[in-house]
Amino acid sequence: MLKVLVTYAVQGEFVEIKWPDAEIYYVRTGIGKVKAAFHLSEALGQVQPDLVINMGTAGTVSHQVGDLFVCRQFVDRDMQKLADLGLEFELDSSALLASKGWCQDWSVAGCCNTGDGFLTELEHVSGDVVDMEAYAQAFVCRAKQIPFVAVKYVTDLIGQNSVKHWEDKLSDARLGLTSFFERNQIQGQPSASL
């Protein structure tokens, strides 16, 4: 049976996923890249999943509150500032997902921009959504050769909303994420065990 590890940063983002052909495990990572990478690494050792799904909330510069994105491309905005030093700041998890045939029909595709700060002021941000954990998790999963995808619900518009707006939208996010996972399932056996 397919083993899926679902990550989320805070309890307010948690929704239960019920898929008949999968064993679902959950880990709350906490906020920020370091905590996310650490808690995911610990859970990978315990669960040994076939797939990792990060679910949660995100901000945006160019989309609307209530939009939902399936992210397979990730940018580390902190490392992007050091791109001139040759540091890696972009990551794409599409190929590993495609090699297993998972999540291919999940849309709308987007790019998630991750950094260790809650953006409240408008600034140039590459990507469709911003969060504080996904890139780090995608990095860990790539290193372990475990397929990774992030499903993000937009709760706030950067430059227009505050942390309070994010908190107010958590119940909407849970409804949106629940609806998404009810419509989109992963069925069947993994093509290769890890």
DSSP state of 169: T
pLDDT confidence of residue 190: 46
Paired sense of beta strands 51-60 and 68-76, if any: unpaired
Tokens of 140: 């860990």
Report the percentage of the chain scoring pLDDT > 90.
66
Average of per-residue pLDDT across 44-67: 94
Report the percentage of the chain scoring pLDDT > 70.
90
pLDDT confidence of residue 187: 59
Q: Model confidence at 189, in pLDDT bands (50, 70, 90)?
A: very low
Domain extent listing, the chain: 2-183
Q: Is 120 helix (H, G, I), strand (E, B) or coil?
A: coil
d(C-alpha 167, C-alpha 154), whole Å: 12
Q: What pLDDT, in 10s, does the model give residues 83-142? A: 777 777 889 999 999 999 889 899 889 999 998 876 655 566 788 999 999 999 999 999
The top-level CATH class assigned to 2-183 is: alpha beta
